[in-house]
Structure 1
Amino acid sequence: MSILIKNGYVIYGENLDVMKADIYIEDNKITKIGKNLNISADYVIDAKGKVVSPGFINLHTHSPMGLFRGLADDLPLMDWLKHHIWPKEAKLTREYTKAGAYLGALEMIKTGTTAFLDMYFYMDAVAEVVLESGLRGYLSYGMIDLGEPDKTEKEIKVALETMKFIEKLSSERVQFVFGPHAPYTCSIALLKKVRELANEHKKLITIHVAETMTEIGQITSRYGKSPVVLLDDIGFLADDVIIAHGVWLDSKDIHILARHRVSIAHNPASNMKLASGVMPIERLLNAGVNVGLGTDGSASNNNLDMLEEMKIAALLHKVHNLDPTVADAKTVFKMATQNGAKALRLDAGVIKKGALADLVIIDFNQPHLRPINNVISHLVYSANGNDVETTIVDGKILMLDREVFTLDEEKTLEKAEEVVEKLAG
């Protein structure tokens, strides 16, 4: 399939140069960028007054958790998890989880996310949804053994079964990632086994690390060191590891993460809502750590809108540091695009010849996005997910003029309501 996008403001290259240009997509790649391209295509999209942006990469979420949106708000993390989320999750079935995954996929398509890194349960069901939706999904089964050897074996078995299921789908868009939940919920034996398996199968790893002060206290009490030092000491860290949160990091932790070229998924909205703390973003970036952006799940955010997440990230660090130059618009935009792609080893997150055709078109013909003084600034500070008009992944149009082609929107919303009623029963 070929697509020609005409007359748009194109965010071009790694330096985010904005220029008026046309883009020609053939199969799943960007093949030409230039002015007044005169090429026949299967689809011609007029993007006059609109911005063509790299698709957003959500580097940490739990996509089926949209089912729990609004069910337990305004609580600390451990109270929220132990007394509200985990009991609800215990009732989840494969069918219920799949309904939540459909809801998450629909929300991401409609708000401009083109790739996401997910951790949850029944990830075979989530994989089926990703395949159908047209999105790129990097999917990890959340492994928790709580130090019990029987559970360790079971969790490894489920993870490997999930990996085999995903590999049988034979889709470049659906990838398996190892996902031990966190150092405080996983034994050393499980963490070491995951490291060994990731090396053997050449897979990425994602894990929650240093999210709360409570976690730091637990790990320090149990092992006499920080979570990052613990992971370093057991040989877990490498450039294939993506840690989620990274809020409570000291200078030694940051040095270790930089040395191993570990990526971090920053989740500012969730960290603020759960009062977990503020990531030391300036120190991490100065150390050369690759920081991407994630929404976390919709139960602690409460949406998957990466445009909104960019604004929150930029504003949080300015007020926290009492410095308006921290987390500038370009830096945050790169976190939501290029840095996420780098973490996932994905040739996307940037518009250039030869890159994967993962793009979104954002309608700037609206009062809150005019005048077009600064495209990147407007995307970070003025836009929201509802401004996304068209979503293209792997050279396929998933949404055009706000109409989603790959999923049944009405059916998806109805099914989510049905499942929530059953979970409440």
Structure 2
Amino acid sequence: MPSRVLIEGGWVFAGEGDGPFQVVEDGVVAVEGERIAYVGPRDGLDPAWEPTRRIDARDKAVLPGLVNAHTHHAMSLLRGYADDVPLMPWLERHIWPAEAHLTGDDVYWGTLLAIAESLLAGVTTFADMYFFMDRVAQAVVETGVRAHLSRGLIGVAPGADQALAEGKALVAAFQGAGDGRIRCALAPHAPYTCPPPFLARVLEAAAALGCPIHTHLAETRAEVEQIRAQYGKSPIRHFADLGVFQHPTLAAHCVHVDADDIAILAEHGVAVAHNPISNCKLASGIAPVPDLLAAGVTVGLASDGAASTNHLDLFEEMRLAASLQKVSRYDATVLPAWQVLRMATVGGARALGFDRLGCLAPGYLADIVVLDLRAPHLRPRHDLTSLVVYSAKASDVDTVLVHGKVLVDGGELLTVDLERVEHEVEERARRLARLARGGAADGTP
């Protein structure tokens, strides 16, 4: 018999439409197995429905699990390694040389650290593009989280053929793994790293495997200028003409897009992962999120990797996402709190292609966050949605369920040995830094 969990007495963010979530005071969420059975007022629940566990949500908000729509989880190993550097020098002089020394074990432990950080911040699902993705999948299966996984593919790099083989093997081995918690994609890194002949091979593989595409697009002005110089068109038009968007596509960034680009994205159903803090810190620019949403483009919220944002906190991302649009457009009404919260939940779920995820409604997958509102920065409670988006912090997360199972209980991780993970990560991060700077693995010059 499936487990039955009753979350009761909180402010429940309910509903599955395209507008704001409906906040139900003293509401309940009934979870049966991996799905939600009931959401709403307490007196609407069948009195014969008996839970195997009760979670007291009084003075708490009950939200859909947050979805990080684009990240590189094992880059938590490189947090703080190369800050205050523009994107291409950051990649070419610092990140790629360090990543050249990564092992599968490094990626496994770095991913576990990121999963721990994310769960404690209420993130239940993430889209990851990196290397040694079989080890990332292992971490996902072990910890109980939900993920969209892809092996990053750089067509101009040595070993591109091997990388593509690894990407295809990931899809074949892990599509639907972890009781359906894992979806897989192929991930051509970007237009400037994947020439058309290599991209054609990736798309042929995606067609054969029936899997989506995860990529970076139009992140910087330099990228747009380079692709226009090479191909006479924008990165968006370039990928459209090559047939990339004939496959379900998740495009990270889309900062430098014009009206024609946005129309192409909307026409082809391309989903965008918006990374506000990464785009600020790397001086990439401000994505036109209100224009994308107005055109009908699905937009999810993302942190990017911890090497560029230094954190995996979607509460910070929500605040900045809203604030950037308001200040850049001199309009306080654009991208209101309810819209940002939807981007961080159901928007991300739709962008990643997960069905019946990201809302608290009957039949939806039971990925749920309980947020403790008993803190000075969360009083008074005039508007619960604004409170969550503009005032809440990751540290307010109390309880997290994924696929109907409790993974964080009263702020305690249940599926990650955090002390062991932190020890492993410290040792491995020091080794990577030494090797990248020309030293030996044992610390000798």
TM-score by length of 1: 0.97
Q: Report matched runs for 1:24-423 at 5 Å.
A: 24-33=30-39, 34-36=41-43, 37=45, 38=47, 39-146=49-156, 151-167=159-175, 169=177, 171-238=179-246, 240-346=248-354, 347-423=356-432
Task: Work out the CA distance in 1 between the residues paired with 2:281 and 2:423.
Answer: 28
SS in 2 for 1:125: helix
In the alignment, is the contact (CA less than 8 A) between 1:54 and 1:351 conserved in 2?
A: yes
Work out the CA distance in 1 between the residues paired with 2:83 and 2:256: 23
For 1:392 and 1:131, the matched residues in 2 are separated by 15
Deviations 1:337-378 (A, max 9, x none): 111111222211100011110000000011111111111101
Q: How far off is 1:167 after superposition?
A: 4.0
Partner amino acid for 2:154?
Answer: I
Shift, 1:169, TM fit: 4.3
SS for the counterpart of 1:300 is helix
Which of 3, 19, 24 pairs up with 2:24?
19
Q: For 1:238 and 1:263, how far apart are their aligned partners in 2?
A: 13
For each residue in 1:33-64, what CA deviation from the matched residue of structure 2 results, as whole angstroms up to 9, or x when unmatched?
A: 23154543222110001000000011000011
Letter in 1 for 2:297: V
Aligned 8 A contact 2:372 2:396 in 1: yes
Aligned to 1:131, the other structure's residue is in SS state helix
Query: Within 2, Cα distance between the matches of 1:187 and 1:119?
Result: 19
Q: 1:6 aligns with which of 5, 8, 22?
A: 8
Q: Retained in 1: the 8 A contact 2:176–2:183? A: no
**Inter-partner Cα distance in structure 1 for 2:107 and 2:348:** 25
**Unaligned residue ranges in structure 1 (runs of 5+):** none
Residues 175-214 of structure 1, C-alpha deviations (whole Å, 9 max, x = no match): 2111110010012122222223223322121100000011
For residues 203 and 186 of structure 1, the distance between their equivalents in structure 2, rounded to whole angstroms, comes to 18
Partner Cα distance (1:168, 1:361) in 2: 27
What is the Cα deviation at residue 155 of structure 1?
2.6
- Provide closer, same or farther for how the CA distance between residues 297 and 52 of structure 1 changes in structure 2, counting only shifts above 3 A: same
Helix, strand or coil for the counterpart of 2:250? Answer: strand
User: How many matched pairs?
Assistant: 423
Percentage of pairs with the same residue: 43
Q: Is contact 2:155-2:199 (8 Å) kept?
A: no
* 2:254 and 2:287 in contact (8 A); partners too: yes
Segment of structure 1 superposing worse, 235-244 or 75-84:
235-244
Deviations, residues 195-241 of structure 1 (Å, cap 9, x unaligned): 23223322121100000011111111111111111111111114610
For the aligned residue pairs, the C-alpha RMSD in angstroms reads 1.4
CA distance in 2, matches of 1:330, 1:169: 33
Per-residue CA deviations over 1:291-350 (Å, capped at 9, x if unaligned) read: 111000001111111111100100111111111111110111111111111122221110
- Residue 433 of structure 2 is matched in structure 1 by 424
* Partner amino acid, structure 2, of 1:397: V
Match for 1:107: what amino acid?
E
Counterpart Cα distance in 2 of 1:203 and 1:145: 19
| Counterpart Cα distance in 1 of 2:408 and 2:257 | 40
Unpaired stretches in structure 2, ≥5 consecutive residues: 435-445
1:337 alignment partner, SS class = helix
Q: Letter of the aligned partner of 1:185 in structure 2? A: T
The structural deviation recorded for 1:394 is 0.3
Which range moved further: 193-202 or 56-65? 193-202
Cα contact 1:50–1:361 (8 A) shared by 2: yes
Structure-1 separation of matches of 2:338 and 2:177? 37
**Structure 1 contact 258–289 (Cα < 8 Å) conserved:** yes
How far apart, in 2, do the equivalents of 1:160 and 1:419 lie?
A: 28
Q: What CA deviation, in whole Å up to 9, does each residue of 1:394-418 have, x standing for no partner?
A: 0000001001111111111111111
1:281 CA displacement = 1.4
Which segment drifts farther, 39-48 or 323-332?
39-48
Describe the superposition over 1:49-106 as per-residue Cα deviations: whole angstroms up to 9, x where unpaired.
Answer: 1000000011000011111111111110001111111111011111111110010110
Separation of aligned partners in 1, 2:429 and 2:270:
37
CA contact (8 A) 1:238 1:262 kept: no
Which residue identity is paired with 1:202? G
Alignment check: 8 A CA contact 2:220 2:255 kept = yes
